[in-house]
Chain A
Amino acid sequence: MPILELRGVTRTFGSGSQAVDAVNDVSLTVAEGEMIALVGPSGSGKSTLLAMVGALLTPSAGEILVGGVDIARYGGSERTRFRRDRVGFVFQGSNMVPFLTARENLLLVGEFGGANRKELRARADQLLQELELTDVASSIASRLSGGERQRVAIARALMRDPALLLVDEPTASLNTELGTKVVDALVREVHGRSKACVMVTHDTRMAERADRIVEIRDGRISSEDLAATSSGAT
């Protein structure tokens, strides 16, 4: 069973003659240990799609199955719990709580409830090490560099050990070198921990590091290719 399966997902904004289908009848599956890059021009609907998969937005039609359960039917508190426990988010900027240290930003997810604090501490230290953040673990987030901040965001997304990672333009504010480092770290974690990952990006060089590139135009999937440089799941 794929970790993520989309069936005929549609999202309409506005109504009547003003209605626009930002996402139109999209079907897609992402397997365990697979990372897909969602590419497309601005306004193509890729961010709307990501928001729906992350339960930030409800689809107008279709099913979004995560681990076989349709999250499109979830109510408000179920969606909050889903975001807390079953999905990890990395946003494009301003991801961190600026007055907390890198490590505290990771442990923060423990304050939302439903977690064993002791396990979280061990996991935080392990993730900080994997993502080469041990040296900056006690630095205040607002003093971290952009690349460090995005790697902390990846670590935080993995804190609750979710099956699904959603990543929105992770390299938008980084230069190529730092961006590559961040995406490489992401690829390592996805493959190493057998996560399913959807990454939205503008940058084709970053997209090529994914296992599969899905292109969206005007709310529909226009092409689906295996990335040229993909090494596949190891």
Chain B
Amino acid sequence: MLALTEMLRRKVQFSLVMAVVALIAYLVLMVTGLGLGLQEKAGTALLNLDGDYLAYADRSNLSVIRSRLTDAQVADIAAAPGVEAATPIGYVAAVVEYGDDETATAALIGVDPGSFAEPRPIDGGPLTGPDQVLIDRSWASLGGTEVGDSIALPVGFATREFMVVGIVDQGSFFFQPAIYLDRSAWQDVSYQGAADQTPAASIVVLRGSGLDGARGEGWVAVTKQTGFDNIEGVAAQQSTVNALRYMGLLIGAMVIGVFFYVLTIQKVALLGILKAIGASGWFLAGQSLLQVFIISVAGAGIAVGLALLTEATVLASDAVPIAFTPGAMLSTAVAVAVSGVLGAALSIRQVTSIDPIVAMQPQ
């Protein structure tokens, strides 16, 4: 094959452009990973809730922070048509004391023990009392906290000791690792001192069907994904990351396009001779496309390898919020390959429009 032989015999030229494509694809992959990582930190704990819909106070603008529901509202939500199961949860960010006088912030999530909002522990056991907590894996690795240790949460102006009974794998909420505790304890931490005004919950997790947009006495229900998308900052963050991704793909397409354009211009005389001795424009265009395709796919493949290597080494610690999923890697690699081929479309036109008469011009 003409195209493959050319690549093999002009290794330097073609490997250089392959390296450039690989680096661009790597950049796009890292940005994609950053987007996923940020998303994870922003609210996997919410997405991992074992329900379909979330009900918010209707004036909260779908903000978990601002949403407050009364006992009556929680009961009203649970009784709404289409609801199969409902369980309230509370959220508050708090400074947690642990270990040897160290502190860190965490997302405290109050649940009813035994309800479907309580995550299953991967280590230890479930909540059985109001002075127990389940901590997320990421918190455990942060402070070296283990099952059986105790941590202190602020209640009023003092602190109260809680026993770690289990470790869960739910991720973070608002960029902080999640800690699960009894809803009454959550009320104490959040609203100590105003007993008659204490909200029952922040939001209610629902199972059921057709509840998107359902409304009742001072509440509104949306899908879990909508709730997630409305977490403060998530939409802006994702659009920033996406803009970076598309920019990277565009640059990749342009680099491949310009490279092949220059390469084609350099070969006009040769392509003219090939046409003059009977090669059709489509045959030559096909050969060029094959080269672009190989370079794009190989470049994207190298980038995936680099990304996996980065993940295994540099990102092994949790310091940088980059996460890769096989799907994201595959779609990014495909996007790079596709944009490379699109970028080369210009050269393809150039190839098909060369007049074979150039073969007769003195060289």
A interface residues, Cβ below 8 angstroms from B: 47, 50-51, 54, 56-57, 77, 80-81, 83-85, 88-89, 91-95, 97-100, 104, 108-109, 111-113, 140, 156-157, 160, 168-169, 172
Of A57, A91, A104, the most chain B CB neighbours within 10 A belong to A91
A176 to B189, alpha carbons, bound, how many Å? 102
Interface bits B166-185 vs A (CB < 8 Å: 1, else 0):
00000000000000000000
Contact between A100 and B5, CB atoms less than 8 A apart? yes
A197 to B276, alpha carbons, bound, how many Å? 17
A155 to B357, alpha carbons, bound, how many Å? 21
Report B289 CB to chain A, min CB distance, Å.
15
What residues on A are CB-neighbors of B269 within 8 Å? 94
Partner of A83, one of B6, B276, B362: B276
Partner of A98, one of B270, B283, B362: B270
Contact between A111 and B359, CB atoms less than 8 A apart? no
Partner of B283, one of A50, A54, A113: A113
Report A143 CB to chain B, min CB distance, Å.
12
B interface residues, Cβ below 8 angstroms from A: 1-2, 5-6, 9-10, 269-270, 273-281, 283, 356-357, 359-360, 362-363
Contact between B360 and A111, CB atoms less than 8 A apart? no
A104 to B279, alpha carbons, bound, how many Å? 15
What residues on B are CB-neighbors of A140 within 8 Å? 9
Report B287 CB to chain A, min CB distance, Å.
9
Contact (A109, B362) CB under 8 Å given A56-B356, A91-B273, A94-B273: no
Chain A to chain B contacts (Cβ below 8 Å), 26 pairs: A47-B360, A50-B360, A51-B357, A54-B276, A57-B357, A80-B275, A80-B279, A80-B280, A81-B278, A83-B276, A83-B277, A83-B278, A83-B356, A84-B279, A89-B277, A89-B359, A91-B276, A92-B362, A94-B363, A100-B9, A108-B274, A109-B277, A112-B283, A160-B278, A169-B362, A172-B362
A187 to B362, alpha carbons, bound, how many Å? 23
A92 to B133, alpha carbons, bound, how many Å? 87
Of A100, A112, A157, the most chain B CB neighbours within 10 A belong to A112
Contact (A56, B359) CB under 8 Å given A83-B278, A84-B277, A112-B280: yes
Contact between A95 and B273, CB atoms less than 8 A apart? yes
Contact between B359 and A91, CB atoms less than 8 A apart? yes
A75 to B363, alpha carbons, bound, how many Å? 28
Contact between B278 and A85, CB atoms less than 8 A apart? yes
What residues on A are CB-neighbors of B273 within 8 Å? 91, 94-95
Report B362 CB to chain A, min CB distance, Å.
6
A77 to B279, alpha carbons, bound, how many Å? 10
Contact between B270 and A89, CB atoms less than 8 A apart? no
Contact between A111 and B278, CB atoms less than 8 A apart? no
Report A42 CB to chain B, min CB distance, Å.
10
Of A83, A93, A113, A140, the most chain B CB neighbours within 10 A belong to A83
Contact between A99 and B10, CB atoms less than 8 A apart? yes
A85 to B356, alpha carbons, bound, how many Å? 16
- B10 nearest in chain A by CB position: A99
Contact (A111, B276) CB under 8 Å given A56-B357, A99-B6, A172-B362: no
What residues on A are CB-neighbors of B274 within 8 Å? 97, 108
A140 to B5, alpha carbons, bound, how many Å? 12
- A81 nearest in chain B by CB position: B278
A172 to B276, alpha carbons, bound, how many Å? 19
Contact between B356 and A112, CB atoms less than 8 A apart? no
Contact between A94 and B270, CB atoms less than 8 A apart? yes
A187 to B97, alpha carbons, bound, how many Å? 99
Report A21 CB to chain B, min CB distance, Å.
18
Contact (A111, B1) CB under 8 Å given A51-B360, A83-B276: yes
What residues on B are CB-neighbors of A83 within 8 Å? 275-278, 356
- A114 nearest in chain B by CB position: B278
Contact between B5 and A104, CB atoms less than 8 A apart? yes
Contact (A56, B277) CB under 8 Å given A94-B270, A100-B5, A113-B283: no
Report A230 CB to chain B, min CB distance, Å.
26
A83 to B10, alpha carbons, bound, how many Å? 29
Contact (A80, B278) CB under 8 Å given A56-B359, A91-B360: yes
Report A99 CB to chain B, min CB distance, Å.
4
Contact (A109, B278) CB under 8 Å given A94-B273, A95-B273: yes
What residues on B are CB-neighbors of A50 within 8 Å? 360
A109 to B283, alpha carbons, bound, how many Å? 12
What residues on B are CB-neighbors of A91 within 8 Å? 273, 276, 359-360
Contact between A84 and B276, CB atoms less than 8 A apart? no
What residues on A are CB-neighbors of B10 within 8 Å? 99
Report B3 CB to chain A, min CB distance, Å.
10
- A111 nearest in chain B by CB position: B2
What residues on A are CB-neighbors of B6 within 8 Å? 99
Contact between B356 and A108, CB atoms less than 8 A apart? no
